[in-house]
Amino acid sequence: MFQAVHTGARVGIMMEELISRALDARSRAYAPYSRFQVGAALRCDGVVYSGCNVENAAYPLGTCAEGGAISAMVLGGGQRIEEIVIVGGGDQPCTPCGGCRQKLREFGQPNLKVHMISPKGEILLTRTLAELLPDAFGPDNLG
C-alpha cells in the first residue's frame, strides 16, 4: 500500500487517502498536448472527490484537475472544500492556476489548506487559499 511521506513522519489517514486519490487521478489524466498530467483530490463532509486534467485538440477547451474534482463534489451533493491535494509533474509544486484559485474560493474558506505534492506523494508545499488568492472576490462580495 502507498505510504504518504511528510518530512519523515507518517501523515494522517485522511491525508493519506487524499494523497493516494490525487495520485490515482493524475494517472488517469488526459494530457496528450502538454504531457503535463495533474490530479487533485479534495475532502468534503468526510468524502474524497477527485479529478484530473482533460485536454482538447482545441487547446483552450482543456479543463484542470481542480475543476474536475469540484464538479464531482457538487454532483455528489457537497459544497464546501475542507482540504485539497494537487499533484503535477516534476519537483516543482503544481500550484493551482489563477482560474482554479477563484474556483476554490467559491467553495473554500480563506483558511482552506492547499497541499501540493510530488508524484512520489511527498508534500512539497502547503498554502492557505488566502495566501494563494489574497483579497479574493467571493460569494460574500455579492452581498
Q: In what side-by-side order are the strands of the sheet with 83-87?
A: 47-52, 39-44, 83-87, 113-117, 123-128
Neighbours of 129 (CB within 10 A): 22
The residue count for binding ligand THU (CB under 6 A) is: 14
Q: Which of 100, 47, 39, 112 is nearest to 77 (CA)?
A: 47
Tell me the sheet residues that pair with 43.
48, 83
**Residue number with CB closer to ligand THU (33 or 137):** 33
**Residue number with CB closer to ligand THU (15 or 94):** 94
**Residue number with CB closer to ligand THU (78 or 93):** 93
Among 64, 117, 124, 133, binds ligand THU (CB under 6 A): 64
Output the smallest distance, CB 1 to ligand THU, in A.
26
**Is there binding between residue 66 and ligand THU (CB under 6 A)?**
yes
Pairing type for strands 123-128 and 113-117 reads antiparallel
DSSP class of residue 127?
E
**Is there binding between residue 31 and ligand THU (CB under 6 A)?**
yes
Q: In the numeric block, which cell numbers belong to residue 130?
A: 488566502
**Is there binding between residue 56 and ligand THU (CB under 6 A)?**
no
DSSP class of residue 48?
E
Report the interface residues with ligand THU, using CB under 6 A.
31, 34, 36, 38, 53, 55, 62, 64-66, 94, 96-97, 100
Residues forming the active site: 66
